[in-house]
Structure 1
Amino acid sequence: MRRGIAELPLHGGHVPPWLALRMKRLSKLLLRLLIDEYGTEGLLERLADPIWFQALNNLIGMDWDSSGSTTVTAGILKEVLSEEDFGVRAAGGKGARSRRTPEELRQIGKIYELDVEKYIKTSKLVAKVDTVALQTGYQLYHHVFFVDREGRWAIVQQGMKPDIKMARRYHWFDTNTFTMDPHKGIIGIKMNYALNTISREAKEYQKTLLDVVSEDPRKIEREVETLKAVEEGYRPLVYYKPWDADEIPLLRRYKSLGKLELNRKALEIARELSVSNYDELLLVKGLGPSTLRALSLVLELVYDVHPSWKDPVTHPPDPFKFAYAVGGKDRVPFPIERRTYDELNSFLELLLEKGKRERDLVKQVTRISKRWRFPEEEKRAT
């Protein structure tokens, strides 16, 4: 862990019931104030902001730097939104709950009278992008879809990398562009490289990939097997292009992300459907990370067309000062102060009863908090 940076290490454990009840109460008050002030669109925009989301997590007393800052905070929000008529609801969650997203979106669609199939497709495509089109070795295990009454949406999902015991969080906000720098933000450790096929630098790559998948899958399979043999030292009599000493490291880079195995059935489906854009290709059933890695290797070494290898992590956030509100679950920067927590909730309840003028006066407190800096020595991993 680099000093002073929240990097979402994987944490086990659970939130004790006494704290979960307070988190839920505070979240309900904060959502009401936010929506009164900025509307449901303003809430969704903030949920799609990695720093704001992390600060909210710290404010309600969750660990300041754990993977639970995603799963617990999103779970609390989903529960509150299901109980209160705020004009926003959430579907999905962690593990098995994420697979119930389509079913839950259908329920929300009935309540808000929305074209639900469009949102189910969006949910699947966003998950495919962060699993297949962008590969850094993280396995997606959390997916929450927020949608408001007008049909605007935000998605927060998280992947884990067990070998380094870290997580990274992906934020999306109501976009029609899913495969060209689509994220509102990504929080986590920035890797040395990532198979990034959704960068603007990969525009030619996406176009060539669609041309390649229109060919006979058996031809692509032969090319993949030849390339894998090259790594083992085999030199074909007629080589596909001049030998390049950088090819072996490139092959090993691909293999470091996982196996190189084509799903011929998926390629046959893509060819039969004559997919016309990258979104459609990603949604083809069976087209997973290993198939895209194999296809990408063919593009690089046979067609000399390249994806981006830049990891699109935006920046590691540092909202640590918000952990001073009521304390942290794991006692950083200090144990949760129940009395302070209850007083904060009571104050916000009173504030909600007041008019806008009184609320504007409270905003002046932000001028003080913006200037305040926490002692660096109190910032430590939980």
Structure 2
Amino acid sequence: MPRSTRNTADLPLHGGKAPRWLFNRMVELALVITDYILTEYGPDELLKRLTDPFWFQSLGCVLGFDWHSSGLTTTTCGALKIALADLGPNAGLYAVGGKGAASRKIPTELAALADAVGFSPDAFIYTSRMTAKVDSAGLQDGYQVYHQLFLFIPSSSQWVVIDQGMNTGRGWARRYHWGSDQLPSFVIDPHAAIEGRRGLDVLNMVSSDSVGSQGRSVEIANDVPHFRKEFMRIRHLELPAHHRINLSDLDSKRVQRVFLKTFEKPPQDFEHLLASPGVGPATIRALALVSQIIFGEKPSFEDPVSFSFAHGGKDGTPFPVNRKTYDHTISYFSNALKRSKLGHTEENQALHRLSRWLEEVSVGR
């Protein structure tokens, strides 16, 4: 999927949760849709679609959640996780994580699945941690990551990550899509897509424009005495008001403690630096600042953000959820899927014709 930096979609930060009667139906329909895609196209195709923010948003709308709410991400991911668990090992695809405390249990969930299914969880655990680290420290866009769904295929080592962060002060959320088949590097333009509201105060140390700053940051991390001297000197400078890195946010003692640890085990590149324990947003900002002052390596301040009507929405937008229509949809697709697995393809062919017709209508607008 080609990246786009021109399209944006705002995700207002909304409270509340889906009522139980709606969420139960969301799980049922998510199971049917997921099973349909897995049966027709296989798990690789489902992962590919989940890296597309527009497809994911459409899925959430079809399931009946608010079409533009931050809760669409967490609720849709929750329904997908339960649906995949219900499908069991035959799906070949697993999901772990979720919102808040559930996201912090990903290593434990992966280890348990590894024992049950039979695969090494180490690479997946590293991926989960690195994607979260990048979205919180490598890319500092003002959003605190509070959700991660990690989906993966053990047999092929393919994976997708859907992170979401919140900015309570601005009242907005931002969703980050990652995909293993589109990942050139964890630290150079790594995202498949980012959906949210464009920000102003952004430090993007994982941009290809920040490669020079990355390299100098690693040099500084390997030369703690020099870094400490320069950092303390810079803290006493009166920088221009328009400077993009706020020194008041940097705790010099804490930053120095972190770098004493990196000095004991010097990072070989920026990815290893970012993966180091204790290295977070403040440390990366300090390094970016020092590398800019000493070496003139300016990091990127460009925001990389790129960019529901089947059953209604939870809050009645664009219209209230029609339970009868929702139940009929679940029943129709469940029966069509059962018949398809038995070799009866009439419904499938009709759905493909409908899909092609909708594409033609959309293009012709």
After TM superposition, is the score higher than 0.5? yes
1:275 aligns with 2:267: yes
Aligned to 2:177: 171
Q: What is the identity, as a one-letter code, of the residue corresponding to 2:245?
A: Y
- CA distance in 2 between counterparts of 1:282 and 1:357 reads 53
Instruction: Kindly provide the amino acid, as one letter, of the partner of residue 301 in structure 2.
Output: W
Task: Tell me the residue number matched to 2:127.
Answer: 122
2:306 equivalent to 1:298: no
* Percentage of matched positions with identical amino acids: 35
- Equivalent residue in structure 2 for 1:149, among 151, 154, 161: 154
SS in structure 1 at match of 2:176: strand
Q: Kindly report which structure 2 residues correspond to 1:183-262, keeping only aligned pairs within 5 A, or say none.
A: 183-216=191-224, 218-231=225-238, 247-251=239-243, 253-255=244-246, 258-259=249-250, 261=252, 262=254
Q: Which residue of 2 aligns with 1:243?
A: none
Deviation at 1:205, TM superposition (A): 1.5
Say which of 85, 93, 99 aligns to 2:98: 93
Q: Report the residue type matching 2:18 in the other structure.
A: V
Structure 1 position 230, deviation (Å)? 1.5
**Which digits, 9 at most, give the CA deviation of each residue in 1:135-186, with x for residues without a partner?**
0111110011111232211100111111101000011011361011111100
Matches of residues 56-135 of structure 1 in structure 2 within 5 Å? 56-85=59-88, 86-135=91-140
Residues 345-364 of structure 1 correspond to what in structure 2 (within 5 A)? 345-354=330-339, 355-364=344-353
The equivalent of 1:264 in structure 2 is 256
CA distance in 2: counterparts of 1:214 and 1:117, whole angstroms: 27
1:57-84 per-position Cα deviation (integer Å, ceiling 9, x unaligned): 0010000011101111111111111222
Which residue of 37, 42, 67 corresponds with 1:39? Answer: 42
Seen in structure 2, the aligned counterparts of structure 1 residues 367 and 139 have a Cα distance that, compared at 3 Å, is: same
1:369 is aligned to 358
C-alpha distance in structure 2 between counterparts of 1:254 and 1:191, whole Å: 15
3-state DSSP of counterpart to 1:363: helix
Q: Which moved more, 1:351-360 or 1:191-200?
A: 351-360
Q: Structure 2: how far apart are the matches of 1:83 and 1:105?
A: 17
Distance (whole Å) between structure 1 residues aligned to residue 357 and residue 319 of structure 2: 21
Total equivalences in the alignment: 346
The answer to whether the 8 Å contact 2:8/2:196 transfers is no
Cα distance in 2, alignment partners of residues 125 and 5 from structure 1: 25
- Indicate conservation of the 8 Å contact 1:135/1:257, yes or no: no
Distance 1:8 1:163 in 2: 14
1:197 maps to a residue whose letter is M
CA contact (8 A) 2:93 2:152 kept: yes
- Supply the AA of the counterpart residue of 1:63: D
Amino acid of the residue matched to residue 152 of structure 1? Q
Q: How big is the shift at 1:290?
A: 0.8
- Within a 5 Å distance, the mapping from 1:7-22 to structure 2 comes to 7-22=10-25
Tell me the amino acid that sits aligned with residue 48 of structure 1. T
The residue type paired with residue 228 of structure 1 is R
Structure 1, gaps ≥5 residues long: 232-246, 316-322, 374-382
Structure 1 256/227 Cα, relative in aligned 2: closer, same or farther at 3 Å?
A: closer
Letter matched to residue 160 of structure 1:
M
Q: What is the TM-score of this pair, normalised by structure 2? A: 0.90
Whole-angstrom CA distance in 2 between matches of 1:249 and 1:84: 56
- Check conservation: 1:47, 1:154, Cα contact below 8 A: yes
RMSD over aligned CA atoms reads: 1.9
CA distance in 1, matches of 2:317, 2:356: 25
> Residue in 1 aligned with 2:327?
342
